[in-house]
């Protein structure tokens, strides 16, 4: 039987694209994806997810991604609208600056939400730290991490902190199944921008006046299957289910507390 020499690289590469399906709204774009042992990878996924956080209508979008080695373990990773730079030369720890291009909210299909003021696109900058352990089989991986990013453009003026845990396990000769969970906290300014409705907005939209404060924004679980098909290619698919919490769930802007994302993708390793 033919053996693929780099299954771990293929698994990690495909994960980077598939974990971020529906990049326009998904909060998974605020958690880093590490790619140990890969010199370079190009990825393309197609995902469906809510048009904005809280929407009940989905949109399809391409999600490009890539990682570029800066040394033995240091690297730059771009995944959809998320970028992080691992500055640590360590087999388990990774940490460094991170950024999110947050698309805001505008031109939405919901008539009531469309009547509210648009939320401008923002650039959120901060950092991340993660720790990963790899087992005897490179497909056996356990990781935890934290990412914090702050708006530096004045669009919402707040920050979002996200923590996650994930695990990979072998499935079949070469495949791997990944499962995990994440939770995000939004500051008062961020939550106010995305989930509050002031008196003027209520008059224009017909929605109730609502004031959102800082707190837990959402919790998410995900499952992803990745299958290498050659030495340099892998395919896979994934599902992410998010559940809005606290003031995010209570906001009249939200049509659906449950947020489902699904996608398929392909990864090329070199």
* pLDDT tens, position by position, 69-119: 777 667 888 877 889 999 998 889 999 999 999 989 998 999 999 999 999
pLDDT of residue 87: 93
* CATH 3.30.70.1230, domain 7-269, yes or no: no
pLDDT of residue 122: 96
pLDDT of residue 65: 76
Which parts of the chain are beta strand (E)?
40-50, 58-69, 75-79, 82-86, 93-102, 122-134, 141-151, 159-171, 175-186, 215-228, 233-244, 258-269
Question: How many angstroms separate the CA atoms of 58 and 21, rounded?
Answer: 12
Task: Give the rounded distance of the alpha carbon of 184 from its chain centre.
Answer: 11
Q: Which sequence spans correspond to the domains of the chain? A: 7-269
Give Cβ neighbours of residue 33 (< 8 Å, ≥ 6 apart).
12, 15, 16, 19, 20, 77, 79
Q: What is the pTM (predicted TM-score) of this model?
A: 0.86
* Nearest by Cα to 172 from 133, 137, 207: 137
> Cα(first)–Cα(last) distance of the chain, in Å?
23
pLDDT of residue 32: 46
- Backbone CA torsion sign across 92, 263, 249, 210: positive
Segments of the chain with pLDDT less than 50: 1-9, 13-28, 32-38
Question: How many angstroms separate the CA atoms of 53 and 258, rounded?
Answer: 10
pLDDT of residue 27: 40
Give Cβ neighbours of residue 105 (< 8 Å, ≥ 6 apart).
52, 113, 118, 119, 194
């Amino acid at each position: 039987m033919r053996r693929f020499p780099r299954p771990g690289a293929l698994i990690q590469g495909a994960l980077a694209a598939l974990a971020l399906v529906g990049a326009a709204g998904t909060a998974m774009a605020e958690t880093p994806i590490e790619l140990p042992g890969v010199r370079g990878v190009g990825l393309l996924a197609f995902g469906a997810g809510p048009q904005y956080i809280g929407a009940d209508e989905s949109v399809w979008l391409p999600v490009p991604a890539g990682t570029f080695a800066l040394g033995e373990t240091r690297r730059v990773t771009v995944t959809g609208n998320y970028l992080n730079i691992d500055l640590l030369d360590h087999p388990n720890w990774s940490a460094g600056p991170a950024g999110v291009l947050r698309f805001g909210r505008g031109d939405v299909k919901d008539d009531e939400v469309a009547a509210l003021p648009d939320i401008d696109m923002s650039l959120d900058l901060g950092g991340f730290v993660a720790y990963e352990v790899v087992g005897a089989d490179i497909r056996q991986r356990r990781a935890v991490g934290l990412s914090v990013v702050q708006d530096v453009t004045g669009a919402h003026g707040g920050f979002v902190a996200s923590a996650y845990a994930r695990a990979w396990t072998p499935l079949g000769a070469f495949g791997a199944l990944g499962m995990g969970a994440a939770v995000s906290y939004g500051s008062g300014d961020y939550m106010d921008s995305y989930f509050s409705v002031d008196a003027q907005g209520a008059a224009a939209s017909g929605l109730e006046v609502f004031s959102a404060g800082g707190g837990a924004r959402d919790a998410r679980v995900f499952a992803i299957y990745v299958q290498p098909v050659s030495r340099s290619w892998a395919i896979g698919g994934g599902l992410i289910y998010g559940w809005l919490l606290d003031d995010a769930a209570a906001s009249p802007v939200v049509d659906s507390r449950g947020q489902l994302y699904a996608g398929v993708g392909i990864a090329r390793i070199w």
